[in-house]
Amino acid sequence: MKPEHATVDSAPSRMLKKPTWLISRAFARSSRLLADAFEGAGARGYHYRLLAGLDEFGPSSQASLGRRTSIDRSDVVAALNELADQGLVHRSPDPDDRRRNIITITPAGIDQLQTLEEIVLGVQERLLAPLSPTDRTRFIRLLTRVVEHDAHQ
């Protein structure tokens, strides 16, 4: 019988060094940290993204909000329903274009965004804990270049 009782088995080395693998591991860790942290505040990532979009760009239609936050139109509807039920956003018809709703963040929504922002900052801190401040800046720059190359393709 081979020693398969060990609690950890290392992955194939040809996987371990590949950026695609490392990114998927980093994403898994990042997602877990975020989901756990949001859950404590009774929220989800979509809620944070939508509130942040409303705070930064002001009252918006659902379609433009979806484009800015990269959330699908269907999921925007569902997430805004939840935010509206909690009184964090307000829906009103756009008098200038009656296909649209104008979504506005409420004072309670701004408070919640503040809370979620602190949660998100705490997650960045835990995620980058192994890196020095200088390395964090380098890491963010390199990641940004990889991601922006995607956008410009």
Partner DNA sequence: CCTATTTCAGTGTTACTGAGATCG
Partner DNA sequence: CCGATCTCAGTATCACTGAAATAG
Single-letter residue type at 133: P
Using the minimum distance from each CB to DNA, give the nearer residue, 77 or 131.
77
Contacts of 81 (CB under 8 A, 6+ apart): none
- Contact of residue 75 among DNA, its own copies, none (CB under 5-8 Å per partner type): DNA
Q: Which of residues 82-121 bind DNA (CB under 7 A)?
A: 91, 97-101
Q: Binding of DNA at residue 75 (CB under 7 A)? A: yes
Q: Which of residues 45-64 bind DNA (CB under 7 A)?
A: 45-46, 61-64
Given 21, 30, 41, 44, the residue binding DNA (CB under 7 A): 44
Q: What is the 3-state secondary structure (H, E, C) of the chain?
A: CCCCCCCCCCCCHHHHCCHHHHHHHHHHHHHHHHHHHHHHCCCCHHHHHHHHHHHHHCCECHHHHHHHHCCCHHHHHHHHHHHHHCCCEEEEECCCCCCCEEEEECHHHHHHHHHHHHHHHHHHHHHCCCCCHHHHHHHHHHHHHHHHHHHCC
Residue span 77-96 as binding mask against its own copies, x where in contact by CB under 8 A, dash where not = -------------------x
Least separation in angstroms between residue 34's CB and its own copies is 6
Strands 89-93 and 101-105, how do they pair? antiparallel
Residue span 55-74 as binding mask against its own copies, x where in contact by CB under 8 A, dash where not = xxx---x-xx--xxxx----
> Site residues (CB under 8 A) for its own copies?
1-2, 4, 8-15, 17-20, 22-27, 29-31, 33-34, 49, 52-53, 55-57, 61, 63-64, 67-70, 96-97, 117, 120, 123-124, 127-131, 135-136, 138-140, 142-151
